[in-house]
Structure 1
């Protein structure tokens, strides 16, 4: 594990959230937000309404900007996010999760919690000088974000679909040369 469990979970959740904006948009209903929330083991307040969905959808380009920023700009963005949310880090343990960091109360809005948890995770990325773990998908037809937590830094595609599409294209190109 490159980072702590909570850091990796927060990064994975945020990257998955950002990538829902790729065509076709897969975060258009409260039910789809419910699925994302459950998949990434979020806890705390849920309004479960259109306003919450709209707020989370509006967060996607903000997080995308953070993930593609250079290290110095990312640090500025993280500091701004944490300050605007009034974040105060503290250790918590709940459910099946051992001690980990939360920086806003569980009663804070979902968009605030996602923003702060992502910013807190990015602190580890920035401090470790690991911004290269985040990038844009190598598929020419995709702008999805890639989170590479592999040991050898080999992940280039945001999804299996993009990787498979490129592998098939490479195979066909080699076959034509034979």
Structure 2
């Protein structure tokens, strides 16, 4: 399933957001407003400015709710209920825009929305597209035994297993190779 560029971008923002939290990394990566601003800048979030302590608190709360979709959605109906609740609480106001050198595209957050509403609307709608396409299995947790980070598998053949091929993926492939080498040396 191929999703639009905007949907894929929103999904990657949700992944980055979830992976800033202690459940995913055992460390709080949004400890303060400076870190929140870095998150906004890193993800090229438009119309997200004048951040305050309320934005930090609301964004962390939203992060935990998105994390639940990845980690504990027992089935599609559970995931749908969670995403619908996130979207329902966000001020959504779909509108066309062509900012920052990008051609016309749809934003789902209301103009002037606070950061958490922006993330809830854009990320919630993106995950809703995944669910509507019956692609819930693309929302995953890294399969490395010592990693709890999340990922969205956008590969054509749905084969992505690790949050990062250079770290977890490489580490797991090296471990498997060494295990095969030990087995062949003893066998």
* Fold-level similarity (TM above 0.5): yes
Offset from partner CA, 1:29-65 (integer Å, 9 cap, x none)? 3222222211211011323333322221222110011
1:29 matched to 2:32? The reply is yes
Matched residue SS, 2:163: coil
Q: 1:89·1:104 contact (CA, 8 Å) conserved in 2?
A: yes
1:7 corresponds to: 7
1:83 matched to 2:88? The reply is yes
C-alpha distance in structure 1 between counterparts of 2:35 and 2:54, whole Å: 14
Q: After superposing the two structures, state which structure 1 stretch, 106-115 or 59-68, moved more.
A: 59-68
1:20 corresponds to: 20
1:172 corresponds to: 178
1:129 corresponds to: 134
1:41 corresponds to: 44
Runs of 4+ in 1 over 4 A off after TM superposition: none
Structure 1 residues without counterparts, runs of 5 or longer: none
Structure 2 residues without counterparts, runs of 5 or longer: none
| Correspondences of 1:78-117 after superposition (within 5 Å) | 78-117=83-122
Tell me the CA shift for residue 100 of structure 1: 2.0
Label 1:120 to 1:158 Cα distance change in 2 as closer, same or farther (>3 A): same
The match for 1:118 among 118, 123, 127 is 123
Offset from partner CA, 1:60-98 (integer Å, 9 cap, x none)? 110011234222222222222222224232222211222
1:51 matched to 2:57? The reply is no
Tell me the CA shift for residue 119 of structure 1: 0.9
Structure index of larger Rg:
2
Offset from partner CA, 1:126-178 (integer Å, 9 cap, x none)? 11111111111101111111211111211101123211221221122122122
Matched residue SS, 1:129: coil
TM-score when scaled to structure 2?
Answer: 0.86
C-alpha distance in structure 2 between counterparts of 1:100 and 1:74, whole Å: 26
Greater relative contact order (Cα 8 A, min sep 6): structure 1 or 2? 1
